[in-house]
Amino acid sequence: MSVKVSLSLFCFSPVMAAAAIVFATAVHSATIHAASGPEGHASRAGVIPIGRPVKVKVPLGLPPVPIPPENPPTEETIALGQRLYYDLGLSVDGTVSCATCHAPNLGFRDGKALSNGVGGQLGTRRAPTVVNAAYNALQFWDGRSPSLEKQAEGPMTNPVEMGHTLEGVVRHVQSDPTYRKLFAKAWGTEQITIDLVTKSIASFERTVVIGNSPFDRFYYGGDKKALSPSAQRGLKLFLNPKKGNCSVCHVIGKKYALFTDNKFHNIGVGADTRGNLADVGRYTQTKNTLDMGAFKTPTLRNIAETAPYMHDGSQATLKDVVDHYVGGGTSNRYLDKEIHALDFLTFNERADLKAFLESLTGTMPPNVGPPADLPSEKMQTAQRQ
């Protein structure tokens, strides 16, 4: 059997670049094809997939997807991870799945400023998108997780999100005969561990890669008609260090664009009029005062579909985002040195920047929705408000 899987501001980090060298040359196709041979079946971390290996082939505008050697993707682990991703049973009361906050119909977000977890509890930060999260050097807004595998554990045990225990998640999965068969097929064992659960989810999430947007076809594909005149002007403003200077953080490379520098910046969001910060961001992890109020630079891909914006969901529209930078953000002592008022931009230039941001929407990959055989009572995805 073969499987095809097409697939909430900015250069590729040295760690990511080093990892990418290990992988096969990217092909400009948003599909996954089965690969023959035993590549990747030697692991330094114990249990590894036993199924049919696949190579993630990325669309135009993206580099090879970094794959950890201890978790090479297979047809079976991707399918298993997809099922787990949509399963409400991973939450303590059976009301929240990964897809509750990261749904494909909403750009793998939930369309909310702040997300709701078990018992209707409200979180304190906006749910980031899963789109191209495979390229993140660190996960979460504050970078507290080093990988997609470790990230998957966080929401499960967060009392406001899924409210479960890792042991409880394993009991839920282990009690399901279908899961036991799927784990045996994917991992060669019916003895399920949380490590195998999170590895499977991560393998599925690494298939959610999106490129081949109008921007990509224009900038990397040579199609001069792919971008509107307004978006072309916006691209020039985006790149111009004396104008928008957006690419200083939302990086556009010569061969691909992640639209993130994989770093953390204080951009004047979440500060009051006296410069006091409601959320100290990256500082919680590093205890370095230079990281006060700094948050991970998010990708801009498919940004038109992932409103509202910023780590706290405080900007409702793309126009609001542009206006935030026009005003130079809210002043505070830790504001990034690259943030300064862009009030010299004309209204037409601001509209051009917005048009460029809208050109970053690629095609959402097929076959990343809920599995057809997952019972409806175990499945829920976000609904637009």
What's the gap between Cα 176 and its chain centre?
A: 29
pLDDT at residue 47, as a whole number:
87
Average pLDDT of span 98-115 = 95
Between these two residues, 142 and 35, which has the higher pLDDT value?
A: 142
Tell me which amino acid residue 335 is: L
Per-residue confidence at 357, pLDDT binned at 50, 70, 90?
A: very high
271 has pLDDT over 90: yes
pLDDT at residue 380, as a whole number:
64
Between these two residues, 302 and 36, which has the higher pLDDT value?
A: 302
pLDDT at residue 28, as a whole number:
35
Per-residue confidence at 362, pLDDT binned at 50, 70, 90?
A: very high
14 has pLDDT over 60: no
pLDDT at residue 382, as a whole number:
60
Q: What is the dihedral of CA 55, 56, 61, 63, to 10 degrees?
A: -70
pLDDT at residue 383, as a whole number:
56
pLDDT at residue 38, as a whole number:
35
43 has pLDDT over 50: no
Task: Indicate if the alpha-carbon torsion angle 270, 111, 302, 156 is positive or negative.
Answer: positive
What confidence tens digit (pLDDT) does each residue in 322-343 have? 999 999 999 999 999 999 999 9
7 has pLDDT over 50: no
Rounded distance between C-alpha atoms, residue 112 and residue 242, angstroms: 34
230 has pLDDT over 80: yes
Rounded distance between C-alpha atoms, residue 359 and residue 374, angstroms: 35
